[in-house]
Amino acid sequence: MRRDIFQAIADPTRRAIIGLIAVQAMTPNTIAEHFETSRQAISKHLRILSECELIQQEQKGREIYYQLELNKLKEIDQWLAQFKAIWENRFNELDNILANLKNKTDENESTI
């Protein structure tokens, strides 16, 4: 059973759950009310999110409040960071090209 954070956010229902409980902790029943699907299906999604440590639970009597572990989402951000680096590098390269171009133009101007 592959179960990492990327697989966790692949499902649109799970992303919606994440969006819901990001604002405030909720019980499975309350979460399920926001969807067409059954409470049990939501429960399964919550288990997957739990296994990935994307959510935490707090028992209050017979209710369980599920809360988003915002920090865990940073792992996705970290994965993205390497590509942001490339992205910014490309811009820097463009800067260099433009700078070189400008230098050449300046040289040409000076030799006119």
What's the closest the beta carbon of residue 23 comes to its own copies, in angstroms?
7
Please name the helix (run of DSSP H) or strand (run of DSSP E) that holds residue 82, with its range, or none: helix 70-111
Tokens of 67: 């809360």
Using CB under 8 A, which of the segments 25-33, 39-47, 59-67, 70-78 binds its own copies?
Answer: 70-78
59 by DSSP, 3-state: which?
Answer: strand
| Phi, psi angles (nearest 5°) of residue 60 | -135, 95
Closest C-alpha among 13, 101, 90, 102 to residue 49: 13
* Interface with its own copies: number of residues (CB under 8 A): 25
* Site residues, DNA (CB under 7 A): 1-3, 7, 10-11, 13, 27-30, 37-41, 43-48, 57, 60-64
CB of 90 to its own copies, least distance (A): 8
Containing 1, the helix (H) or strand (E) segment is: none
Residues contributing to the site for its own copies (CB under 8 A): 2, 4, 6-7, 9-10, 12, 15, 18-19, 22-23, 68, 70, 73, 76-77, 79-80, 82-84, 86-87, 90
